[in-house]
Chain A
Amino acid sequence: MKQKFDIITSTCVPLPLENVDTDQIIPARFLKATDKEGFGDNLFRDWRYDKEGHPIANFVLNDPTYGGCILVAGRNFGSGSSREHAAWAIAGYGFRVVISSFFADIHKNNELNNFVLPVEVSEDFLAELFQSIQDNPQMQVEVNLPAQTVTNLATGRCETFAINAYKKHCLMNGLDDIDFLLKNVETLPPAPPLHGGE
């Protein structure tokens, strides 16, 4: 999971729906595993396969026209349940970047903690990107983490995106938050006495 992140240039998989919740990303019945393996197989399960388990031809993941390691989704991506399994499914499928105009809080953290980069862009940029992909599914996007830029290579349009310096450092160097916390665990004060002296 700890993949160092730098510059990624890839074709995109478009999912132009809003409010894609984590129950759609990975339905609850697939949350019973006790490890992190295999979740990519059930990414968007109920949109991707019918009741008999056959691929639904017109769903984008089953359409060979589209591919690449960048998922492009409508606003409010990852709302609902906090399940990190959604991030494991996205990473497990092979996506390294998700581009949207708005992310739900918990899911955004979960992506970052699994070395998947959430890139928040303007509504305009997103609309143009969906159009570019529709015009030419082979068009590419460049995501440059060191420069914090995302570029639609079909139109040349470029935007900067936000990420805090700490998390950027973690992603570029393959470090996670536990590595950080363990370094300063000795400096932790005793349990605060404010809760009736527990």
Chain B
Amino acid sequence: MGKTLFDKIWDAHVVQNIPDGPTQLYIDRLYCHEVTSPQAFDGMRARGLRCLRPQQIFCMPDHNTPTHDQDRPIADPVSRKQVETLARNACEFGLTHYGMMSPDNGIIHVVGPEKGLSLPGMTIVCGDSHTSTHGAMGAVAFGIGTSEVEMVLAAQCILQQKPRSMRITINGNLGKGVTAKDVALFLMARITTSGATGYFVEYAGEVVRQMSMESRLTLCNLSIEMGARGGFIAPDETTFTYLQGREFAPQGEAWERALAQWRTLKSDDDAVFDRELVFNAADIEPRITYGTNPGMGIGITESVPEQGDVNFFKSLSYMGFRAGERLLGKKIDYVFLGACTNGRIEDFRAFASVVKGRKKAEGVVAWLVPGSWAVHRQICAEGLDRMLADAGFEIRQPGCSACLAMNDDKIPSGKYCLSTSNRNFEGRQGPGARTILCSPLVAAAAAVTGVITDPRELL
């Protein structure tokens, strides 16, 4: 019987299988940010340990960083301490650190791929559930807890139960105005936020093959919102073209060797998955969420469901929506473009394509936050910053920002935010904030009209 790509990568990294226990898995790459690492470094100090393979570990602050005046000290002393603690720990343990205002800084899940640090065939972890993003490179990448961060710092391994395998195939072609974000929101609504728990997902099919790297990163990013530990896409020419020449990608002869090896990274034709799901692109339209988990979503022209259980009505009450209501035309207050989900150059191009020839709507507050300084530089190089400025939009400085509101970018209680981030949990964007998840196109359509609008009418 053939092997899945997940099996191939996993098996190549097994150090040992503990009898009636987890697997000791070798980790190629660890990323550390400031929120989930300090206690792991404390643990290392308490045990008197040094990092086993420091050259495989990269650190950068992203969650607490303000999106303005990054050249000045962070005003919130608690945030500042956490960011400074990461810098100190990286220095003490001999790890590469891209600090705030470094031209290499940004959201870990944006920076890793764009610097060529995340490569096909790798095992990649970070104390962050959206580590699944890096699966787009053809890697087995997943989020871990702080105890597990400490394991990798100390031993370059973690103990992990092997997940089951799932393949999600999306056939056909995406329609106008339908993006990777809509595909992911569609999948969550179909299989719920726990439908893939216990599984590692391989995305396949015509739709996935046609996707750019940026779109693949968005799709894999959201794997965790279906409960999956991770999601990945077998590497192909799109992946290799994206990687060639990037700072940490192999160069010269090493590139040729890597390429030959990466071309073998695919599931065998006769591989059997524990679960197979097949969807058709024609069933997917631009989507929005109406509730307080990412699976509570609808096509933008559809209505909120009529029926539900106690959890459903608790969500609707928080959101201020009625069962059976249509959301098109609803007034909104904030728009957030960014996050590890949609903070890449393609997302800014998409947003700008809707804004072009229009102005920001009166009364809408819009936060446009690039995922990294590299994205910021590209936005400026393409003149998108000037075009957006003329339309009333300002490009801010990079970081996680309003995705989880650990910095000052908080949505006020009761306000509606059309957000390209990944979670619409209660209070995620600030206490009482009401988050509606969507693609950059839907966000832009709302930003220029002031109401929830089908972007296909503006394209």
Q: Which residues of A contact B (CB under 8 A)?
A: 17-19, 21, 23-24, 27-29, 31-36, 46, 51, 74-76, 79-84, 87, 102, 104-106, 109-110, 113-114, 164-167, 176-178, 180-182, 184-185, 187-189, 191-192, 194-198
Interchain nearest-CB distance for A72 vs B (Å): 16
Query: B405, A29: Cβ atoms under 8 Å?
Result: yes
Query: B119, A196: Cβ atoms under 8 Å?
Result: yes
Query: B47, A178: Cβ atoms under 8 Å?
Result: yes
Of A23, A166, A187, A196, chain B has the most CB atoms within 10 Å of the CB of: A196
Please name 14 further chain A to chain B contacts, defined as beta carbons within 8 Å, in addition to the given A23-B427, A105-B163, A105-B227, sorted by A numbering: A17-B310, A23-B425, A35-B42, A80-B423, A106-B143, A106-B144, A110-B145, A114-B147, A176-B147, A177-B147, A181-B151, A187-B15, A191-B28, A196-B250
Query: A19, B193: Cβ atoms under 8 Å?
Result: yes
- Assembly CA distance A167 to B23 (angstroms): 12
Closest to A179 in B: B47
Interchain nearest-CB distance for B339 vs A (Å): 13
Within 8 A of A (CB), among B176-216: 193-194, 197-198
Query: B122, A195: Cβ atoms under 8 Å?
Result: yes
Query: B157, A188: Cβ atoms under 8 Å?
Result: yes
Q: Does B161 make an interface contact (CB < 8 A)?
A: yes
- Assembly CA distance A19 to B122 (angstroms): 31
Partner of A178, one of B39, B154, B314: B154
Query: A19, B128: Cβ atoms under 8 Å?
Result: no
Question: Which residues of the other chain, A, contact B347 by a CB distance below 8 angstroms?
Answer: none
Q: Does B159 make an interface contact (CB < 8 A)?
A: yes
- Assembly CA distance A46 to B318 (angstroms): 12
Query: A181, B159: Cβ atoms under 8 Å?
Result: yes
Question: Which residues of the other chain, A, contact B82 by a CB distance below 8 angstroms?
Answer: 32-34
Query: B229, A182: Cβ atoms under 8 Å?
Result: no
Interchain nearest-CB distance for B61 vs A (Å): 12
Partner of A27, one of B24, B248, B427: B427
Within 8 A of A (CB), among B1-54: 12-13, 15-16, 18-22, 24, 26, 28, 35-36, 38-39, 42-43, 47, 49, 52-53
Question: Which residues of the other chain, B, contact A192 by a CB distance below 8 angstroms?
Answer: 12-13, 26, 28
Question: Which residues of the other chain, B, contact A83 by a CB distance below 8 angstroms?
Answer: 35-36, 145
A-B contact pairs, 7 of them (CB 8 A): A23-B425, A23-B428, A28-B404, A34-B85, A165-B19, A187-B15, A188-B26
